[in-house]
């Protein structure tokens, strides 16, 4: 891509970004609708190109290399498309049953180990070690996992010991939620800071960034105050 | 009566768009005029670097980019710092994408690594091969893990991978390490169908939202090291002595956190000063 | 209040959360049909979601038919918002901003877009009822929503509302397995702290 | 032939057979079965990739209705379909590293994807500012834990107050990790139970069967 086209793409990218940021203003406006439909059109186009390229590289090249069994992937794929046909929709049931069957096998054959057995095994540890802090960690984890599990029992009355463990579990869960909320915020902030960093590096981008921010803020307010925002935005 | 509660009511019920304006200012400000405040280095990042230091020249690492372009914005410091270490060590890379937007990443990433690839004569085809978008779903991960060459015949430009260093790879167990950069996507499937099957060591640079989940995997021994979000990447930049986008963003990171803390304090003052007495209800799902 | 209801069942394929989301959608559709309230069901969000969309359309159509108002069912109010998560999100937000629904019910498997949707629903003064399907989502949605179903409260609610014997039995089986997990952990802790890792070895063979 | 597709028991048989052909080789390695299982996984992966065509069809159908009926905002839908066509044709004709495809990827797709994902920081800020209020024991615990971890995550705090790392890491690596571990255990049970429901034909909505269908 030549230099001018790349420059134009970067500046367009900056401006369309702040058009989408007008979502934060909370009222409909045409800038936001333009950004939304731009992404819907271009994004779907990219997934079509990548999806069909994957089919070509895997199935077609595979058959050319002698893997003739892969002809079934093309056959099943075409049958899957009947899913939206008003009369012959039932044709898609065969490939659906096949893909859901293999999908179930793939997830169930390993999920029992990674998400169930390994997690239980990792909780069953010697509590006392010669490091006091490690003892505190291990007791906290063991008590938290057990009590929070009792909080999510539905088909039995939580009375007696179960009542107290589920109450303790609920409080410990909210401590966990507080820590997790903060970690999640760090991640989201990292996304925003990372993107703003790319809009101010190299520094020639900074004036375009500040100008786009100002233009879009003013436009959002004007579209709202004049009532044009509702009229000119998408249905 | 109308304005009873005055300042406290305003602190409890202000227009939340002021939070948005404040966040824009405290983030863009230090990015345009960096201050360069100090940062602490976590034990988690030191362990991540130690794990990478075990690699030898010629080792083949499976570098799995399980991130959209947007996820790369958060993981950029960790991606660049880790790949600088790979290039300096002479590790060979097999790069795969877990999202269709991955096709936009190599030009962006290798433009930032140009100084390293030139200095160490690190070239595509010889030292790294991009096999492209090969993880559209779990079945594709499992198939590739079991029989690599039956499922990957060409690289992302459509050129054959025969006769390259990837000839040594028959299945997921032949990689010296998996280096994953993830917003979620195929990471769980890689753990299930490669790590669990072949015990291949796996280090993960994860976005903040997935850190709690990966802490459970780290504790269960499913992954060997974890680098958390932008901040982990900035710490790694510091440890390898190569400042980049991570360290540059740390001021904005600090102010972004402090701005939320200030708004929380304001909200609590308003809550005790007005909400409790007025009987109004805070709109939140916490009991 | 005369305002529409927006109810979504998630962006995933036929997984654990989507089945619960569809059961809750069925119940909401029944109430909307009986009370002549407009129901908007955003669909799409991932390539896996195409398969689920057809089942959701049948579900809502059947709910209107069962309520004796088949003519009130409008497939246009079940818009397909692309098979891509980040094209689905602004489309869904656009519906919230334009329609300003009285209530938003967001269940099934939603990912990072859940926060966009919950905060926008709060901004347009909708009653926000959500369900998180992974840890970080639950912590954030607990703050952003008016009412939240934590973890398996969602499938339990789906089973309760649908009265489907198979779903009700599943919740019972899951409780039994949780008891097994609790018992195994307790037994294991006692054994390993008395010097025997028999439980660890037993469950990891 | 159509009766085979319409037969519920036939489709459940296909479901069970494809399940077993991929499930069993994981536990009983045997050459030919391993080969077949690998091929079935590749076939399933490619079959799933075809569903992108349904997406484009559904999008054309919805936009077509907006345009034909001149509904509010129909111009946006013309623009959407045009952009989708340009992107798809350019990607196949000029390839993914040139032409309008590369330009639109750089100018539209990657910036907007970054915005939509990054905008969550704003929503979390306003939700946190609203919810982190000590008005009940639960909310107070959430506030306390969140406050300590937020302070720790601000890089400057660690430089002046190193002690905060111990408290914050304790909260994330025990309570936070335990919540994740608990949901991992309970969700895996739920997924397995759903799998059993599907295999026993108790959950067939995804195949398009109604309640009474046989």
Instruction: Report percent pLDDT > 90 for chain D.
Output: 36
Instruction: Report chain C residues whose CB lies below 8 A from the CB of A127.
Output: 189, 193
Residue C152 sits in the same domain as residue C169: no
- pLDDT of C30-57, one tens digit each? 999 999 999 999 998 887 777 788 788 8
How far from B263 is each of A106, B14, B22, B127, B260, CA to CA, in Å? 46, 10, 10, 49, 5
Three-state SS at B287: coil
Same domain for A193 and A147, yes or no, is yes
Q: Give a yes or no: residue D205 inside a domain.
A: no
Chain C partners within 8 Å of B137 (Cβ): 48
Same-domain status, D55 and D114: yes
The verdict on A191 and A216 lying in the same domain is: no
Instruction: Give yes or no for residue C21 having a pLDDT over 50.
Output: yes
CB C152 within 8 A of CB A152: yes
**Structural domains in chain D (count):** 3
Look at phi and psi of residue B206 and say left if phi exceeds 0, alpha if psi is from -120 to 50, else beta.
beta
Contacts of C144 (CB under 8 A, 6+ apart): B284, B285, C115, C118, C119, C122, C128, C130, D123, D127, D130, D131
Residues ≥6 apart with Cβ < 8 Å to D5: A90, A91, A93, A94, D11
For residues D55 and D113, membership in a common domain is answered with yes
Tokens 């890089």, residue located: D155
- Within this chain, do residues A111 and A82 fall inside the same structural domain, yes or no? yes
Question: Is C38 in the same domain as C105?
Answer: yes
- Is there a domain that residue D214 lies in? no
Same domain, C71 and C135: yes
User: Is the sign of the CA dihedral C178, C149, C66, D6 positive or negative?
Assistant: negative
Please tell me whether residues A82 and A103 are part of one structural domain. yes
Look at residue B1 in the predicted model and tell me its pLDDT: 46
Residue C97 to residue A27, Cβ atoms within 8 A? yes
Same domain for C17 and C41? yes
Is A2 a member of any domain?
no
Give how far D126 is from chain A: nearest CA, Å: 11
Contact between D38 and B219 using a beta-carbon 8 Å cutoff: no
Q: Do C109 and C194 belong to one domain?
A: no
Of A94, A110, A120, the CB nearest to D5: A94
Find chain A residues with C-beta within 8 A of C91's C-beta: 36, 40
Instruction: Using CA coordinates, name the residue in chain C closest to B286.
Output: C142
CA distance B48 to B44: 6
Tell me how far CA of residue D49 lies from CA of A49, A54, A63, B78, D104, in angstroms: 11, 8, 17, 31, 23
Exposed, middle or buried, A225 (CB in 10 Å: 0-12/13-18/19+)?
A: exposed
Which residues of chain D from 170 to 189 reach within 8 Å of chain A, CB to CB? Answer: 170-182, 184-189
* C171 in the same domain as C158: no
Average pLDDT over residues D152-157: 89
β-strand partners of C104: C6, C128
User: Tens of pLDDT along C111-160?
Assistant: 888 888 998 898 888 999 999 887 888 888 888 888 999 888 888 888 88
SS3 annotation, C105-131: EEEEECCCHHHHHHHHHHHCCCEEEEE
- The reply to whether C135 and C203 lie within a common domain is no
Are the Cβ atoms of D208 and A107 closer than 8 angstroms? no
Tell me, yes or no, whether C34 and C124 share the same domain.
yes
Q: Does D159 touch chain C if contact means CB atoms closer than 8 Å? A: no
Write out the residue range of the structural domain in which residue A153 sits.
Answer: 143-201
* B199 Cα distance to chain centroid: 23
What whole-number distance in Å separates Cα of residue C186 and Cα of residue D131? 35
Q: List chain B residues with pLDDT less than 50.
A: 1-2
Q: Could you identify the residue written with the tokens 């595979």?
A: A62
Candidates A16, A154, A187: best to mutate against C (most CBs of C within 10 A) is A154
Query: What pTM value is reported for the model?
Result: 0.86
- A183 and A214 part of one domain: no
Are both C118 and C43 inside the same structural domain? yes
Q: Using one digit for the tens of pLDDT, what is the confidence trace for C156-202?
A: 888 888 888 888 888 899 899 999 999 999 999 999 999 988 888 88
Alpha helices in D69-133 (DSSP H): 74-93, 99-104, 110-118, 120-131
Q: Are residues C183 and C159 in the same domain?
A: no
Question: For residue D213, what pLDDT band results from cuts at 50, 70 and 90?
Answer: low
Overall number of domains in chain C = 2
Query: Is the Cβ of D185 closer than 8 Å to some Cβ of chain C?
Result: yes
Q: Which residues 18-77 in chain D show a CB within 8 A of chain A?
A: 18-23, 26-27, 39-59, 66, 71-74, 76-77
Peptide bond into A202 cis (omega under 30): yes
Q: How many CB pairs under 8 A join B and D?
A: 181
Question: Could you say which of B136, B212, B284 has the minimum Cβ distance to residue C136?
Answer: B212
Mean pLDDT score, D106-112: 93
State pLDDT tens for residues D187-196.
888 888 888 8
What is the model's pLDDT at position D208?
61
Q: Which chains touch B (3 or more CB pairs under 8 A)?
A: A, C, D
More confident residue, D116 or A74: A74
- Quote the domain boundaries for residue C36: 5-163
Residues of D in contact with C16 (CB under 8 A): 187, 190-191, 194
Residues of D in contact with A98 (CB under 8 A): 14-15, 18, 43-44, 47
Q: Can you tell me the ipTM of this complex?
A: 0.86
**Positive or negative: CA dihedral B215, B221, B222, B224:** positive
**Residue D191 near chain C (CB below 8 Å):** yes
Per-residue pLDDT at B281: 65
* Contact indicator for B176, B184 with CB cutoff of 8 Å: no
Residue numbers in D near B259 (CB within 8 A) = 125
Domain that holds residue D38: 2-49
- Do A153 and A190 belong together in one domain? yes
Residue D74, pLDDT > 60, answer: yes
Each residue's pLDDT, cut to its tens digit, for chain A (235 residues) gives: 788 998 999 999 999 999 999 999 988 899 999 999 999 899 889 888 988 988 998 899 999 989 999 999 999 999 989 888 888 888 888 998 998 888 888 888 877 777 788 888 889 999 988 888 889 999 999 999 999 999 988 888 888 888 999 999 999 999 999 999 998 898 889 999 999 999 998 899 999 999 999 999 999 999 999 999 988 988 6
**Closest Cα to residue B286, out of C120, A183, A177?**
A177
**Which site among A101, A111, A190, A217 would you substitute to test the B interface, given the most B Cβ atoms closer than 10 Å to its Cβ?**
A190
The CATH code of the domain that includes C154 is 3.40.50
Reduce the DSSP state of residue C186 to 3 states and report it. helix
Within a 10 A sphere around the Cβ of A132, how many other Cβ atoms? 9
Supply the DSSP symbol for D206.
Answer: G
Please give the pLDDT value at position D54.
Answer: 84
In a domain, D154, yes or no: yes
Give the DSSP per-residue string, B184-198: STTHHHHIIIIIHHH
- 3-state DSSP of chain A: CCHHHHHHHHHHHHHHHHHHHHHHHCCCCHHHHHHHHHHHHHHHHHHHHHHHHHHHHHHHHHHHCCCHHHHHHHHHHHHHHHHHCCCCHHHHHHHHHHHHHHHHHHHHHHHHHHHHHHHHHHHCCCCCCCCHHHHHHHHHHHHHHHHHHHHCCCCCCCCCHHHHHHHHHHHHHHHHHHHHHHHHHHHHHHHHHHHHHHHCCCCCHHHHHHHHHHHHHHHHHHHHHHCHHHHHCCC
Specify whether the CB–CB gap between D176 and D152 falls below 8 A: no
């Amino acid at each position: 891509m030549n230099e001018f086209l790349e420059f134009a793409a970067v500046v367009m990218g900056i401006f369309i970004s702040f058009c989408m940021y007008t979502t934060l203003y909370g009222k409909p406006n045409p800038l936001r609708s333009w950004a939304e439909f731009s992404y819907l059109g271009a994004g779907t186009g990219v997934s079509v190109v990548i999806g069909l390229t994957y089919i070509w590289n895997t199935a077609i090249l595979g058959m050319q290399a002698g893997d003739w069994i892969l002809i079934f992937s093309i056959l099943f794929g075409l049958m899957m498309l009947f899913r939206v046909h008003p009369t012959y929709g039932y044709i898609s049931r065969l490939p659906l049953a096949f893909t859901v069957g293999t999908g179930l096998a793939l997830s169930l054959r390993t999920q029992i180990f990674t998400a169930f057995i390994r997690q239980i095994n990792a909780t069953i540890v010697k509590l006392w070690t010669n490091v006091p802090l490690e003892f505190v960690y291990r007791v906290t984890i063991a008590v938290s996992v057990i009590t929070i599990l009792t909080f999510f029992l539905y088909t039995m009355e939580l009375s007696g010991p179960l009542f107290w463990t589920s109450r303790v579990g609920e409080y410990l869960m909210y401590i966990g939620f507080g820590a997790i909320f903060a970690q999640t915020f760090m991640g989201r902030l990292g996304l925003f800071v990372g993107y703003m960093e790319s809009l101010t590096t190299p520094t020639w981008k900074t004036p375009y960034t500040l100008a786009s921010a100002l233009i879009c803020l003013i436009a959002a307010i004007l579209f709202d105050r004049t009532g044009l925002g509702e009229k000119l935005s998408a249905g | 009566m109308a304005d009873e509660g005055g300042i406290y009511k305003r602190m409890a019920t202000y227009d939340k768009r002021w939070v948005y304006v404040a966040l824009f200012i405290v983030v863009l400000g230090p990015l345009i005029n960096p201050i360069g405040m100090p940062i602490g280095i976590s034990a988690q990042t030191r362990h991540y670097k130690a794990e990478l230091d075990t690699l030898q020249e010629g080792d083949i690492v499976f570098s799995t980019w399980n991130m959209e372009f947007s996820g790369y914005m958060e993981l950029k410091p960790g991606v660049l710092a880790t790949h600088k270490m790979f290039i300096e060590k002479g590790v060979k890379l097999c790069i795969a994408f877990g999202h269709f937007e991955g096709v936009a990443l190599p030009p962006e990433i290798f433009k930032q690594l140009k100084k390293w690839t030139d200095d160490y004569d690190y070239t595509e085809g010889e030292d790294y091969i991009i096999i492209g978008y090969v993880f559209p779903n779990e079945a594709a991960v499992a198939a590739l893990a079991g029989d690599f060459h039956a499922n990957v015949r060409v690289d992302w430009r459509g050129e054959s991978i025969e006769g390259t260093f990837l000839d040594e790879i028959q299945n997921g167990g032949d990689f010296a390490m998996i280096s994953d950069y993830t917003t979620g996507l195929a990471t769980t499937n890689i753990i299930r169908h490669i790590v669990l099957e072949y015990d291949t060591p796996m280090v993960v640079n994860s976005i903040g939202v997935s850190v709690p989940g990966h802490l459970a995997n780290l504790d269960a021994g499913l992954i060997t090291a974890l680098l958390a979000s932008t901040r982990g990447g900035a710490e790694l930049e510091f440890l390898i002595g190569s400042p980049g986008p991570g360290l540059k963003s740390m001021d904005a990171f600090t102010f972004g956190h402090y701005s939320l803390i200030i708004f929380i304090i304001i909200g609590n003052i308003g809550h005790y000063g007005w909400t409790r007495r007025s009987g109004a209800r805070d709109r939140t799902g916490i009991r | 209040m005369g305002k529409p209801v927006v109810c979504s069942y998630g962006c995933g394929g036929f997984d654990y959360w989507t089945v619960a989301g569809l059961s809750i959608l069925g119940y909401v559709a029944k109430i909307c049909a009986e009370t002549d309230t407009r129901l908007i069901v955003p669909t799409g969000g991932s390539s896996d979601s195409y398969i689920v969309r057809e089942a959701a359309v049948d579900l809502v159509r059947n709910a209107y038919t069962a309520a004796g108002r088949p003519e009130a069912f409008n497939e246009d109010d079940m818009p397909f918002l692309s098979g891509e998560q980040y094209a689905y999100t602004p489309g869904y937000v656009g519906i919230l901003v334009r329609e300003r629904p009285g209530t938003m019910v967001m269940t099934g498997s939603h990912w990072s877009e859940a926060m966009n949707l919950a905060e926008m629903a709060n901004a347009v003064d909708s009653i926000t009822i959500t369900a998180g399907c992974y840890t970080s989502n639950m912590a954030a949605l607990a703050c952003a929503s008016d009412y939240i179903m934590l973890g398996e409260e969602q499938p339990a609610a789906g089973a309760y509302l649908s009265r489907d014997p198979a779903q009700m039995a599943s919740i019972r089986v899951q409780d039994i397995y949780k008891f097994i997990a609790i018992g195994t952990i307790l037994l294991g802790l006692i054994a390993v702290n008395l010097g025997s890792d028999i439980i660890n070895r037993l469950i990891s063979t | 032939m159509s009766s085979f597709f319409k037969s519920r028991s036939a489709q459940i048989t296909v479901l069970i057979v494809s399940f077993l052909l991929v499930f069993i080789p994981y536990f009983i390695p045997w050459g030919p079965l391993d080969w077949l299982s690998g091929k079935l996984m590749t076939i399933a992966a490619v079959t799933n990739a075809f569903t992108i065509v349904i997406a484009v069809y559904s999008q054309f159908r919805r936009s077509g209705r907006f345009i034909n009926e001149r509904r509010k905002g129909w111009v946006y839908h013309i623009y959407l379909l045009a952009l989708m066509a340009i992107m798809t044709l350019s990607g196949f004709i000029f390839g993914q590293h040139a032409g309008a495809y590369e330009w639109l990827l750089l100018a539209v797709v990657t910036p907007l994807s970054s915005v939509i994902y990054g905008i969550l920081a704003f929503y979390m800020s306003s939700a946190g500012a609203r919810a982190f209020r000590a008005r009940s024991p639960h909310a107070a615990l959430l506030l306390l834990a969140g406050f300590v971890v937020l302070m720790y995550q601000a890089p400057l705090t660690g430089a002046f107050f190193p002690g905060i790392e111990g408290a914050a890491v304790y909260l994330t690596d025990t309570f936070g990790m335990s919540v994740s571990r608990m949901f991992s255990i309970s969700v895996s049970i739920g997924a397995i139970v759903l799998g059993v429901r599907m295999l026993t034909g108790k959950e067939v909505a995804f195949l398009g069967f109604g309640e009474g269908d046989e």
